[in-house]
Amino acid sequence: MMRGIIKYTIIGGIVGASVLNTVARVEALPGQTIGEVETWIKAHPTLRPGRGERLTVRKGERPTQRFVFEASVFSPGRITSGSSGLIRSEKLEFYDEVEGVDGERLVEALRIIYGVDIYQDYQRGRVIYTYPTAEQIERSRKEKKPLLEARKGELRVGERFAYWVEVAQPETGKAVTGRLIVFLKDDIDDIEKELRSR
């Protein structure tokens, strides 16, 4: 049985039974204009932005469960490059103390928001980096930096886009926060360098 968002019912109205059976047709992705992405967000049956929300949509009726969708003209990570008028990355981010967050849930959110084509691009993509590495785990314990070991993720490159999935997994208990970022393939080398240098 597929887990993902279907198992987690509603987070602040982001998903409900009527929406789960309707996969959105993709019309806005990194590489498109700000205006195109804003229009797509506004019309999206799952995102349903509130008043004043344009490129960032926040959902969550309780502080223990939140979802954020954010489109940006910057590439993800600390090493960022801007793009005048074009979206370079789109982030799906969950915080859920009740049900927890895992990679499967993030990927199911990708399918629901972007549709089958992008979901398949992700699934068929090539994993180019997974972390933490054994060296990072050793350094995390030696330097007493538990966050370095707790952040578990991967970079993946599909035919159309690059994908960055990350979940913060504590030493005990369930992960409560995670994100999946869809971004332009041009930025993959910089992101990989940043992650390897952690």
Cα–Cα distances in angstroms (integers) from residue 152 to residues 32, 70, 141, 169, in the given order: 30, 21, 15, 7
pLDDT in tens, 64-86: 999 999 999 999 977 666 667 89
Structure pTM?
0.85
What distance lies between CA 171 and its chain's CA centroid?
A: 22
| Residue with tokens 């350094």, as numbered in its chain | 139
Task: State both tokens at 57.
Answer: 């949509």
Cα–Cα distances in angstroms (integers) from residue 42 to residues 37, 70, 88, in the given order: 9, 13, 19
Beta-carbon neighbour count of residue 102 at 10 Å?
19
Quote the DSSP letter at residue 76: S
Identify the weakest region by mean pLDDT among 5-19, 61-75, 144-158, 178-192.
Answer: 5-19
Domain residue spans of the chain? 4-128+154-191
Q: Is the pLDDT of residue 11 over 70?
A: no
Task: State both tokens at 50.
Answer: 């509130």
Mean pLDDT value across residues 88-103: 95
**Distance between CA atoms of 69 and 64, rounded to whole angstroms?**
17
Cα–Cα distances in angstroms (integers) from residue 110 to residues 25, 107, 145, 173, in the given order: 12, 5, 31, 25
Average pLDDT, the chain: 85
pLDDT in tens, 35-51: 999 999 999 999 999 99
**Distance between CA atoms of 57 and 172, rounded to whole angstroms?**
31
Q: Is the pLDDT of residue 17 over 50?
A: no
**Distance between CA atoms of 117 and 74, rounded to whole angstroms?**
24
Mean pLDDT value across residues 105-121: 96
The residue type found at 87 is I
Q: Is 60 left (phi over 0), alpha (psi -120 to 50) or beta?
A: left
Mean pLDDT value across residues 85-103: 95
Q: What is the pLDDT of residue 6?
A: 36
> For the chain, how are helix, strand and coil distributed in percent, rounded to 5?
30, 25, 40
